Amino acid sequence: MQNLVLYRKYRPKNFSQVINQEHIKTTLANAVSNNRIGHAYLFVGPRGVGKTTLARIFARAINCPNRKNSEPCNTCEICKSFLESTSLDLLEIDAASHTGVDNIRELIDHLQFAPSKATFKVIIVDEVHMLSKGAFNALLKTLEEPPQHAVFILATTEVHKVPATIISRTQRFDFKKVSIADLSKLLRFISQDTNLKITDGALLEIAAASDGSFRDGLSLLDQVMNYASGEVTEELTEQVLGLTGTRTVSSFLDLIGANQTQAAVDFIGQLLYSGRDLYQFQKDFLEYLRKLLLTKVGVSADFGFNVEFQDKIKEQAQQLSIDRITKIIENFQKAENEIKWTSIQSLPLELAAIAATQMQTDLVPIIARSEATKQPQSVEKITAPVGNGNNPLDSIIQHWPQILEKIKDYNHSLISSLKLAQPVGVENKELILLFPYKFHKDAIEARKNRIIVDQVIEEVTGVKVLVKPMLSKDWKGEVKNEKDSPLQAALKIMGGEVE
Ligand SMILES: [Zn+2]
């Protein structure tokens, strides 16, 4: 997804253009102007925050003969050859693709020769944690006795994978993520500079989606520019980037807060239908809930919202209790773990939405009933079954299509599993549902899904049962209504058994 046109064009070329990492750029600039150059630096921090950018500025600054204070001129022969990566005195390697000891040996051999034109030979090793053990050992030997003219700049996103022996030989700098405010300031400048019309809301969306990374921010802005014909709005940004966007998560919260189960589940369906990344939506919604909670308890922080959403979130915070917000967070946090593993991506979100919209009042009787194994008295109050006679199983089998239809209203994705299910018996108020595949059985077995199925069966047939999903091959009893499950029948004919 990386589109690096803007990133290359607007990459800072001297210290003063770097709008973040103040402490680091000051220290490095002072080292340059005081001529106190170390032999090895370690740049630690997340991706896209300017580690290699600062490494390159530093490399030019210590070599430029026309340096002004600490800034490289960027026009002399040396600066140009460094900028164009044609100098033999600047070596950049990506340790991710050059992990071996041979690559490092080659570097070290090269270091034996004095610089061709510059004062220092600068070696930038990106993602240094990827080096092999042998390569680290070779590097360590050089760092213990570096040639006078050598300057190493090692960059890493995962410093815990860099041996302590290496770290102790370096001067370490820890880079921070870029703040949303700084990033949107930069994005605004670039938009103006490129004559792009873009709303503040859209800029904030992009900044917030970049997760503190310049590179991601500029790459996202690039993508949006490629789509825009007129002014770039927040909506367009959301569409183009497939972001969830503040507007989306805020509307979703409105539905949850108003206990609109069906609308909330539909909402998720629409996100899925329009190709949104549900995992991202989940993350964004949680982030929004966090901000809501902070607002509720009176923490005033810069959430990167425009005025509209600053007001909106305050309003929402007033409407919901702390307890309620915390419970919603719990529901959706649980979904976050599950969404990565489930093959029905919308299911965990739908479950969370159902739980979160029914926790106030409506869910109470359902929860009570799910504990009904311990309280069989509730089962006594069965209203007259709609089905023929008193056999609850007959009634359920008879109404199975209506039951499925109704479940669809609650949760679309449950249907694909339930379609394969076969109700075969009621034992001790438990309805045995047979599934040919373990995957579908497991999907229905999740407690929240069982509750939905229980409830719908009762609504349609008046029969109170607790569903008990089971694999077909584990069922020893008879199968009463084979024609309800064509798959099962087909399997039987073929003599197959599936798990
Ligand atoms: Zn220069």
Domain boundary among 123, 154, 174: 174
Q: CB–CB of 225/9 below 8 Å?
A: no
Q: Of the residues 241, 266, 282, which one is the last residue of a structural domain?
A: 241
pLDDT of residue 367: 35
Residue 138 and residue 92 in one domain: yes
Q: Same structural domain for residues 25 and 166?
A: yes
Distance from the alpha carbon of residue 5 to the mean position of ligand 1, in angstroms: 24
Q: Is 495 left (phi over 0), alpha (psi -120 to 50) or beta?
A: left
Same-domain check for residues 255 and 164: no
Ligand 1 centroid to residue 65 C-alpha, Å = 6
Asked if residue 88 and residue 100 are part of one domain, the reply reads yes
**Which residues of the chain, if any, have pLDDT below 70?**
1-3, 242-244, 274-275, 306, 359-390, 412, 478-499
Distance 42 CA to ligand 1 centre (A): 24
Rounded to the nearest angstrom, the distance between the alpha carbon of 83 and the centre of ligand 1 is 10
Q: What's the gap in Å between 91 CA and the centre of ligand 1?
A: 17
Cβ-proximal residues to 370 (8 Å cutoff; 6+ apart), any chain: 447, 450, 451, 454, 466
Helices in 62-179 by DSSP H: which ranges?
A: 77-83, 101-111, 133-144, 164-167
* Distance in angstroms (rounded) separating the CA atoms of residues 70 and 14: 9
pLDDT at 97: 83
What local confidence, expressed as pLDDT, does residue 360 receive? Answer: 52
318 and 407 inside one domain? no
Q: What is the pLDDT of residue 390?
A: 60
**Ligand 1 center to residue 80 CA distance, Å?**
7
Count of domains in the chain? 4
pLDDT of residue 436: 76
- Distance from the alpha carbon of residue 7 to the mean position of ligand 1, in angstroms: 22
Are residues 97 and 47 part of one domain? Answer: yes
How far apart CA 352 and CA 149 sit, in angstroms, is 61
Tell whether 27 and 170 lie within a shared domain: yes
**Could you tell me if residue 426 is inside a domain?**
yes
Asked if residue 188 and residue 141 are part of one domain, the reply reads no
For ligand 1, the distance from its centroid to the CA atom of residue 293, given in whole angstroms, is 52
Kindly tell me the sign of the dihedral angle through the C-alpha atoms of 405, 406, 409, 414: negative
- Looking at residue 220, which CATH number applies to its domain? 1.10.8.60
- Do 442 and 487 fall within a single domain? yes
Q: Do the domain assignments include residue 399? A: yes
Q: How far is the CA of 197 from the centre of ligand 1 (A)?
A: 35
Domain limits for position 102: 21-174
pLDDT confidence of residue 414: 78
Residues with C-beta atoms within 5 A of ion ligand 1: 64, 66, 72-73, 76, 79
Give distance in angstroms: CA of 121 to centre of ligand 1.
Answer: 15
CA 62 to ligand 1 center in whole angstroms = 9
Interval between CA 13 and ligand 1 midpoint (Å)? 11
343 alpha carbon – ligand 1 mean position (Å) = 56
Same domain, 28 and 121: yes
